[in-house]
Structure 1
Amino acid sequence: MGNLGTLQAEKMLSFEELNQEFDNFDLPSPIVTPICQNNVEEYIDPSHSDTSKCIRINFDNLKSFEVVERQYESWGVIFNNSLAIQPSNPAFPTNSGATVLMASPKNGVLEVIFLEPVAWVSALVTSSQPLIFSAYNKTGQLLTQSTLPTANLANSDSAMSPNTLLSLEAKDIKSVTFCAFDGQFTIDEFRFCFSSLA
């Protein structure tokens, strides 16, 4: 057997060391990424002046056809009626990585509940039908909505491209729903921001 080189474990940088590393680059804004684990990234988003801490979830740590509910509970979010898939249909391309979420077992509706209220939520959406993205407070009152007015499948005649960014902003968002009226849709790059650091 040949001589194997030793592997050096990568050291996790402290917050101060990260800032020193960023000082060596000419970045347009101070983006800080203190935590990145299991395809979940915690970051500071300078574009949201009234928010402090944001979470970005990339679903690539999930297995294909895994029911998604409490996998991200430690990050403050629970999914309902959600399944991880690696789309084989080219009409539903992924944005980054191979895994996205779809509504299942019931088509057309996916709900996300936040353990603490948030101020901003977004996702990349590809849908076979028009879709409504809605935010609710803790009493179930509708706060705001964003719509995908038409289907946006890849290789279709839609004026909208797949993986369209939909976002919602309101005070004290406790849950959001994606509703495509029995259509099929996928979500990727799910992000949310708290109104202040916990």
Structure 2
Amino acid sequence: MFSFLKSHTELSQPLAPPTSRHHLVRATAAEVTPLRLGPTQLDFEDLVEFERVENQYFTLGVQFWGAIAIRPSNPIFVPSSGCLVLMPSTFQAGIQAQFCRPVAIVQALVSGTRPVTLTALDSNGVVLERVSIGSYRYLWADGQAELAPLPQQPLQLQTPGIASILFESDAPFTLDNFFFSQL
């Protein structure tokens, strides 16, 4: 179902980027109204390699900070489908997303050599829930020419009132097939 904006200026006024790693800017529904509501899945294939990801999905109800679209050159980060994934744009900064309206479900496929954590926050910045996936170690075997790709693991939170989320790790990671829904 689509919701139409009252003026074009509402669409052209993106939210300000967060001021710190764990603080996302709050906005009311009157300030930002997405064109599309309901379950949304992003595969990032519509992006250009090395494109900074921020307001591209604003009309779908989400904005990102700290993300860049890449085609992984390291063979251990090969996506299971498509070519492009998101990766943090700076080391140890994580990927943040803010929803135009609170959601109840957030899910993505992530790959990382160290644990990756997904944290959900309410509109006041209070942590609602946190979940992590483990890490994978690779040991070189004699005669092994290349490493096997890391598995893309689902990372999911389901709790009402999610206004923003943060994916973070202390090592590089990739994010693909990002899904969110009000129910």
- When normalised by structure 2's length, the TM-score is 0.71
2:74 alignment counterpart = 89
1:53 alignment counterpart = 38
Residue of 161, 175, 181 corresponding to 1:172: 161
Secondary structure at 2:75's aligned position in 1?
A: coil
Distance, in Å, in 2 between the alignment partners of 1:104 and 1:65 is 9
Please tell me the residue identity of whatever aligns with 1:104: S
Alpha carbons 1:126, 1:152 under 8 Å: kept: no
2:12 alignment counterpart = none
1:100 maps onto 2:93 in alignment: no
Report the number of matched residues.
Answer: 140
Q: Name the Cα RMSD after superposition.
A: 1.9
Q: Deviations over 1:129-180 (max 9, x none)?
A: 1111110000011111111122378627xxxx51100100111100111110
Please tell me the residue identity of whatever aligns with 1:118: V
Alpha carbons 2:85, 2:174 under 8 Å: kept: yes
Secondary structure at 2:63's aligned position in 1?
A: strand
Q: Percentage identity across aligned positions?
A: 34
Unaligned runs of 5+ in 1: 1-41, 43-51
Shift of 1:93: 1.2
1:65 alignment counterpart = 50
Shift of 1:95: 2.1
Distance 1:148 1:179, change over 3 A: same
1:120 maps onto 2:105 in alignment: yes
- When normalised by structure 1's length, the TM-score is 0.66
Residue of 168, 171, 177 corresponding to 1:189: 177
Q: Which of the two has higher C-alpha Rg?
A: 1
Alpha carbons 1:56, 1:191 under 8 Å: kept: yes
1:145 maps onto 2:134 in alignment: no
Please tell me the residue identity of whatever aligns with 2:128: L
Unaligned runs of 5+ in 2: 1-35, 139-146
2:17 alignment counterpart = none
Spell out structure 1 runs of 4+ moving beyond 3 A: 151-154
Alpha carbons 1:68, 1:79 under 8 Å: kept: yes
